[in-house]
């Protein structure tokens, strides 16, 4: 017959006493701040890249493929020379490469949801938006890598920004701000749709018209009137124009301000919608 344990017999062993003393708390732990919680989840997003480095393929290989393909396939036909077309194209390709990367924000969000990870996050005593905002901040590292790869390849091929280093850095900063705001769209899709593949498919349907029906590749004046109307109100077109002006050293206040206002507006409108969906998701 088995001997009764210390817990069932009501007796206290030295080991049990030591264990209780180790886990006993004199006071309730302090709740982590909003900043601390957000940075923790941002760090989690970076750790996912560390443990699955294949996630960086889309931000390292895709910009190279897009740049080489469009410069050497269409440069001679559109601009007469690949070198001249590169000066026009590279800021647009930079924008396209980073915005394509924002699609994976919703994809990874939906993956966490389908695995039950986000249900655990919602049960934690933390600032409620921290898991989402932290994931978005972590993804800005991916956007920065895509920007660095595109610019490095462009410089190797002969791109020479007359705006200098300052102009290039300001253009990248403006792009990161806009990409963060646009990521809320795909975060919403990640919360609404039922599978990661569905998120990827719908996100590309949203992003393709925004990038290809813009001034990324050609001057809108060559397009039909009805398409020009869409291009002129397309926020991606305004972003590309501001990026070209910053890199070219001729940026106007209105073009940069338009992008910043659009970014703030998207964040102000979409972030509350995202949090409502996040709270009510069953």
On average, the pLDDT of the chain sits at 86
Least confident of 110-124, 198-212, 246-260: 110-124
Q: What percent of the chain lies above the pLDDT cut of 90? A: 45
Comparing CA positions, the residue from 59, 236, 199, 240 lying closest to residue 141 is 59
Distance between CA atoms of residues 143 and 77, nearest Å? 30
Is 10 a residue whose pLDDT tops 60? no
**Residue-level pLDDT at 112:** 85
Is 233 a residue whose pLDDT tops 70? yes
**Could you report the per-residue pLDDT of 50-93, keeping only the tens digit for each?**
777 777 777 888 889 989 988 988 887 777 788 889 999 999 99
Is 194 a residue whose pLDDT tops 70? yes
Q: What is the mean pLDDT of residues 140-145?
A: 90
Least confident of 2-16, 58-72, 84-98, 161-175: 2-16
**Residue-level pLDDT at 24:** 66
Highest mean pLDDT among 99-103, 243-247, 278-282: 243-247
Please tell me the pTM assigned to this model. 0.84
**Residue-level pLDDT at 8:** 47
Judge contact between 259 and 175, C-beta under 8 A: no
Output the 3-class SS for 203-241: HHHHHHHHHHCCCCCCCHHHCCHHHHHHHHHCHHHHHHH
**Residue-level pLDDT at 244:** 95
**Could you report the per-residue pLDDT of 16-61, keeping only the tens digit for each?**
677 676 666 666 667 778 888 899 989 888 887 777 777 777 788 8
């Amino acid at each position: 017959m088995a001997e009764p344990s210390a817990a069932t017999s009501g007796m206290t062993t030295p080991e049990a006493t030591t264990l209780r003393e180790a886990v006993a708390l004199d006071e309730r732990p302090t709740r982590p701040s909003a900043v601390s919680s957000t940075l923790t989840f941002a760090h989690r997003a970076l750790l996912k890249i560390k443990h699955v480095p294949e996630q960086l393929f889309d931000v390292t290989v895709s910009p190279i493929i897009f740049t080489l393909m469009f410069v050497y396939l269409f440069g001679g036909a559109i601009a007469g020379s690949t070198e001249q077309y590169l000066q026009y194209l590279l800021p647009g390709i930079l924008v396209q490469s980073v915005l394509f990367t924002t699609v994976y924000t919703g994809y990874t969000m939906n993956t966490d949801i389908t695995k039950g990870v986000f249900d655990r996050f919602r049960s934690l005593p933390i600032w409620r938006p921290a898991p989402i905002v932290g994931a978005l901040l972590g993804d800005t590292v991916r956007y920065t890598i895509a920007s660095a790869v595109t610019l490095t390849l462009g410089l190797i091929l002969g791109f020479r920004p007359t705006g200098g280093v300052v102009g290039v850095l300001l253009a990248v900063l403006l792009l990161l701000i806009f990409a963060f705001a646009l990521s809320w769209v795909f975060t919403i899709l990640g919360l609404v749709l039922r599978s990661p593949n569905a998120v990827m498919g719908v996100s590309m349907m949203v992003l393709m018209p925004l990038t290809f029906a813009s001034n990324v590749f050609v001057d809108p004046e060559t397009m039909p009137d009805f398409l020009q109307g869409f291009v002129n109100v397309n926020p991606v077109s305004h972003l590309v124009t501001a990026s070209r002006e910053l890199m070219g050293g001729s940026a106007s206040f209105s073009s940069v301000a338009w992008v910043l206002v659009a970014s703030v507006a998207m964040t102000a409108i979409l972030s509350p919608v995202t949090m409502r969906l996040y709270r009510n998701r069953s």
